[in-house]
């Protein structure tokens, strides 16, 4: 029985689509292992629904959704499906092991999409919605229906579509702003129109899903919440198609800070997990968070101007509307050294929301000690990178044994490399245009394959001369893309490790994208 307090306050369901809409964006593709790691972190964060992927898109997507569905406890797992029989059956199969399973089916309702993409009449579309929501409902009681491009659809037609979806059994109706076109006032009016005209809408959840093409994703989502929407579809760091989706951290903290402006709306998110999960996602994808990004950017709580610093010293509330500790910045200030000991290391990881089993903890601790020998101050960012790197590379079949680089101005760079590969030792030599080029060619020569390099990114995990370099690579081999991560205090070594991680995935078949299989379905948002 809800208390009087919760009757008055308005619970907003957080539907996280980092692993589906977010993962769909360029550069954000994740392997199955990485998706599992993220789904654990999302459960820890307290999201209500995890959209785990689009099972019909590829066997890899299907497998990831299936594994997430079997693993997640305490949150609903949703699988996305276009409104067709094959997609819905694939989604149903993928989520069948979930403690709480949702099928999320969608079809576009705007004239632009119906005429140019679907080539369907309104009557045909209504019949399709009825049939496909009914089909989805035969697999699970929890069915979400989305009217893709709702904000550019005819409002009265939208009423008919949603009426049909409710009659066929949909329990959540999503009103996506697929192309980031709407404005806060217009979106709020659309919410009011739907609530006034769709029969039975008060018995289902209205959901909002906004893209950020005009930078209004968060404003639109909040306007819709104030106007009666009860579910917000969001991603960590706002990743997603084109300019991205609405950022989870922005909506959650706007409601936590100014909930009274939105009908006393609140979420069940553990806000102190926000910064750690943001860092984890950018570590996995290599997509950096912009420094001035609200809540999670490095400068979000930095005060530079003298007048601001003066005010802050007198009283924090002069210039701070949120407490940085409440969103998890405290853990990020942690500093350890080699004398911190195992207990300090373990509690540092716990503060960052990182859980490891005994074997992983031991391996991470040994790597921490090695790092603490090279670097006096091991920070939270170092720890996150270290653990992530350990998780990423633990199954690598290629290992780095030795490397040598000869470099001088005006001459080609020469690299010699010695690798371990299962029980063999492989040796490669190459000359190239700089150390990274020569290094990757030498590795290719040792392994006897020549993938092409699609993306290379190096960043320092922390400031300072002794910083660890973190390298992300994407390589292409036989129409599939493989990602690799490498970490070391030397960037040549970090580059070699990243390349070997990606090469290992070629051998184990752990691609993040199979190009031929996904291009036909991945370009809508
Ligand atoms: O942006 C969109 O319309 C979507 C739907 C599939 C919900 O992502
Ligand atoms: Zn979308």
* Residue whose CA lies nearest to ligand 1 atom number 8: 525
Residues lying with their CB under 5 A of ligand 2, a single-atom ion: 21, 525
338: pLDDT strictly greater than 90: no
Question: Residue 331: what pLDDT?
Answer: 65
350: pLDDT strictly greater than 70: yes
**Residue 110 belongs to domain with CATH number:** 3.20.20.70
Is residue 146 lining ligand 1, measured as CB closer than 6 Å?
yes
Least confident piece of the model among 69-73, 83-87, 216-220, 298-302: 298-302
517: pLDDT strictly greater than 80: no
When divided into structural domains, the chain yields a total of: 3
Whether residue 184 is contained in a domain is answered as: yes
Is residue 21 lining ligand 1, measured as CB closer than 6 Å?
yes
**Residue 434 belongs to domain with CATH number:** 3.30.160.270
Strands 452-460 and 469-477, by their bridges, are antiparallel
Whether residue 290 is contained in a domain is answered as: no
Tens of pLDDT, residues 5-52: 445 789 999 999 999 999 988 789 898 989 999 999 999 999 999 999
Is residue 23 lining ligand 1, measured as CB closer than 6 Å?
no
* Of 348, 363, 391, the domain-final residue: 391
* Residue 151's pLDDT band (cuts 50, 70, 90): very high
Is residue 217 lining ligand 1, measured as CB closer than 6 Å?
no
224: pLDDT strictly greater than 60: yes
Ligand 1 atom at shortest distance from the alpha carbon of 150: 3
Bigger pLDDT: 468 or 193?
193
Alpha-carbon span 296 to 307, nearest angstrom? 24
175 and 260 inside one domain? yes
Share of the chain above pLDDT 70, in %: 94
Token pair recorded at residue 252: 């959650």
Which strands form 469-477's sheet, in the order they lie side by side?
452-460, 469-477, 480-488, 513-514
Share of the chain above pLDDT 90, in %: 69
* Of 338, 369, 391, the domain-final residue: 391
176 and 71 inside one domain? yes
Question: Residue 332: what pLDDT?
Answer: 67
Q: Domain span at residue 415?
A: 395-508
Question: Residue 520: what pLDDT?
Answer: 35
157 and 119 inside one domain? yes
Strands 143-148 and 101-108, by their bridges, are parallel
Whether residue 524 is contained in a domain is answered as: no
Q: State the distance from the centre of ligand 1 to the C-alpha of 32, rounded, in angstroms.
A: 22
217 and 268 inside one domain? yes
104 and 213 inside one domain? yes
Specify whether the CB–CB gap between 482 and 451 falls below 8 A. Answer: yes
> Ligand 1 pocket test: which of 107, 158, 178 has the largest number of ligand atoms within 8 Å of its C-beta?
178
405 and 386 inside one domain? no
Question: Residue 7: what pLDDT?
Answer: 54
Residue with tokens 């954000």: 28
The residues that bridge with 143 in the sheet, in sequence order, are: 103
359 and 276 inside one domain? no
Query: Mean pLDDT across the stretch 330-334?
Result: 68
439 and 469 inside one domain? yes
Query: Mean pLDDT across the stretch 89-110?
Result: 98
Question: Residue 333: what pLDDT?
Answer: 67
Alpha helices in 352-488 (DSSP H): 358-374, 380-393, 435-447
Whether residue 525 is contained in a domain is answered as: no
92 and 164 inside one domain? yes
128 and 224 inside one domain? yes
Tens of pLDDT, residues 405-450: 999 998 999 999 999 999 999 999 999 999 999 999 999 999 999 9
Q: State the distance from the centre of ligand 2 to the C-alpha of 520, rounded, in angstroms.
A: 17
Whether residue 265 is contained in a domain is answered as: yes
525: pLDDT strictly greater than 50: no
Whether residue 518 is contained in a domain is answered as: no
Whether residue 513 is contained in a domain is answered as: no
Alpha-carbon span 444 to 448, nearest angstrom? 6
382 and 406 inside one domain? no
Tens of pLDDT, residues 163-208: 999 999 999 999 999 999 999 999 999 999 999 999 999 999 999 9
268 and 255 inside one domain? yes
Query: Mean pLDDT across the stretch 360-378?
Result: 88
Query: Mean pLDDT across the stretch 114-140?
Result: 98
Question: Residue 395: what pLDDT?
Answer: 87
Whether residue 127 is contained in a domain is answered as: yes
Question: Residue 188: what pLDDT?
Answer: 98
Report CA 141 to chain centroid distance, whole Å.
Answer: 27
Query: For the CA atoms of 397, 401, 406, 412, what is the dihedral angle to 10 degrees?
Result: -10
* Of 361, 391, 421, the domain-final residue: 391
Is residue 153 lining ligand 1, measured as CB closer than 6 Å?
no
Is residue 499 lining ligand 1, measured as CB closer than 6 Å?
no
Query: Mean pLDDT across the stretch 225-234?
Result: 98
Token pair recorded at residue 458: 């190096």
Return the top range by mean pLDDT from 21-35, 362-376, 396-410.
396-410
Query: Mean pLDDT across the stretch 220-246?
Result: 97
């Amino acid at each position: 029985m809800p208390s009087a307090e919760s009757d008055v306050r308005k619970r907003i369901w957080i539907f996280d689509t980092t692993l589906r809409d977010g993962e769909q964006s360029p550069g954000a593709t994740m392997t199955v292992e990485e998706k599992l790691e993220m789904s654990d972190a999302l459960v820890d964060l307290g999201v209500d629904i995890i959209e785990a992927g689009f099972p019909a898109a590829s066997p890899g997507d299907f497998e990831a959704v299936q594994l997430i569905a079997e693993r997640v406890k305490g949150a609903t797992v949703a699988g996305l499906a276009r409104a067709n029989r094959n997609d819905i059956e694939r989604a149903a199969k993928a989520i069948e092991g979930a403690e709480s399973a949702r099928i999320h089916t969608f079809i576009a309702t705007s004239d632009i999409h119906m005429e140019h993409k679907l080539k369907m009449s309104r009557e045909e579309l209504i019949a399709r919605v009825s049939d496909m929501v009914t089909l989805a409902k035969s697999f699970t009681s929890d069915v979400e229906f989305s009217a893709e491009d709702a904000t550019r659809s005819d409002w009265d037609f939208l009423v008919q579509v949603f009426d049909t979806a409710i009659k066929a059994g949909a329990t959540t109706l999503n009103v996506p702003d697929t192309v980031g076109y709407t404005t806060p006032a217009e979106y709020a009016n659309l919410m009011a129109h739907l609530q006034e005209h769709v029969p039975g809408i008060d018995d289902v959840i209205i959901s909002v899903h906004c893209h950020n093409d005009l930078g209004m994703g968060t404003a639109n989502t909040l306007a819709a919440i104030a106007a009666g929407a009860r579910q917000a579809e969001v991603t960590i760091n706002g990743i997603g198609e084109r300019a991205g989706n609405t950022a989870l951290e922005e909506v959650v903290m706007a409601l936590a800070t100014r909930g009274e402006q939105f009908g006393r709306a609140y979420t069940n998110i553990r806000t102190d997990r926000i910064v750690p999960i943001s860092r984890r996602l950018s570590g996995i994808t290599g997509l950096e968070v912009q420094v001035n990004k609200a809540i999670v950017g490095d400068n979000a709580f930095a005060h530079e101007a003298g007048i601001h610093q003066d005010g802050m010293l007198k009283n924090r509330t002069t210039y701070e509307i949120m407490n940085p500790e409440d969103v998890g910045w405290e853990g990020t200030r942690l500093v350890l050294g080699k004398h911190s000991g195992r207990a300090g290391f373990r509690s540092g990881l716990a503060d960052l929301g990182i859980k490891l089993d005994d074997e992983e903890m031991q391996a991470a601790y040994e790597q921490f000690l090695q790092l603490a020998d090279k670097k006096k101050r091991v920070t939270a960012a170092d720890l996150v990178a270290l653990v992530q790197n350990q998780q990423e590379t633990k199954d690598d079949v290629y290992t780095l044994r030795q490397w040598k680089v000869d470099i001088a101005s005006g001459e080609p760079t020469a690299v010699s490399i010695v690798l371990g590969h299962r029980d063999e030792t492989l040796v490669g030599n190459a000359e190239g245009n700089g150390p990274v080029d020569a290094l990757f060619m030498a590795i290719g020569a040792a392994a006897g394959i020549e993938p092409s390099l699609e993306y290379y990114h190096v960043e320092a995990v922390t400031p300072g001369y002794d910083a660890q370099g973190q390298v992300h690579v994407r390589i292409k081999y036989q129409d599939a893309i493989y990602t690799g991560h490498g970490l070391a205090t030397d960037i040549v070594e970090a580059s070699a490790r990243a390349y070997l991680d990606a090469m290992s995935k070629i051998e184990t078949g752990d691609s993040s994208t199979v190009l031929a299989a996904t291009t036909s379905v991945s370009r809508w948002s």
